[in-house]
Amino acid sequence: MRIISGYLKSRRFSPSAKLPVRPTTDFAKESLFNILSNRLDFSVINALDLFAGTGNISFELISRGCIKVTSVDNNYKCIDFIRKTAENFEIDNIQLIKTNVFNFLKFSNQTYDLIFADPPYDLDNMNEIPDLVFNKKMLSQDGIFIIEHSKNYNFESHPNFIEHRNYGKVNFSMFKMK
């Protein structure tokens, strides 16, 4: 994996094949960040990366100048990998939280400017994630919430849905406060 842009541009990191993850492809990540860079000023962003896995999205956000990134995953090996990679990259503006994402969403009182969720594609209750985010008012007024999913999900009927993007097998649904 590589970081596409920002002060860590071209830095590579290699997670173990034993991690239970499906990282966002470089192609999909680059396409998504091209869209986001035209809509957001990363230098004023407080971001949340749910189902953080390898930290792929977290590191891209930090490299582009985010003030702080909170990475949440329930797998100790994933959190440990992100921690070690952050230390290797000398990153100090990442907060790692090892917990179940649904518990985090239920109990967090924070507001974020960008929330990215990359749950397992076969997650039974994936459709609940947008409602948890919006019911808890976790997204700032001008913030963007993105969920990565397979083609089997369609979020277009959600009242906060704004657009869908498809990059091969990777789908992104985007939401805003209304």
3-state secondary structure of 142: strand
* CATH classification of the domain holding 52: 3.40.50.150
Looking at the 3D structure of the chain, how many domains does it have?
Answer: 1
Query: Would you say residue 150 lies in a domain?
Result: yes
Q: CA 76, CA 53: separation in Å to the nearest integer?
A: 10
Is 3 among the domain residues? no
27 in any annotated domain? no
Average pLDDT over residues 97-102: 97
* Residue 26, pLDDT above cutoff 90: no
Query: Is 50 domain-assigned?
Result: yes
Domain that holds residue 79: 46-121+128-175
Dihedral sign, Cα of residue 41, residue 32, residue 38, residue 128: negative
Does the residue 78 lie in any domain?
yes
What digits encode the pLDDT tens for the residues 142-178?
999 999 999 999 999 999 999 999 999 999 999 999 8
Mean pLDDT of the chain: 95
Domain for residue 36, yes or no? Answer: no
19 is a domain residue:
no
pLDDT band at 15 (very low <50, low <70, confident <90, very high): confident
> Could you tell me the pTM of the whole model?
0.96
pLDDT band at 38 (very low <50, low <70, confident <90, very high): very high
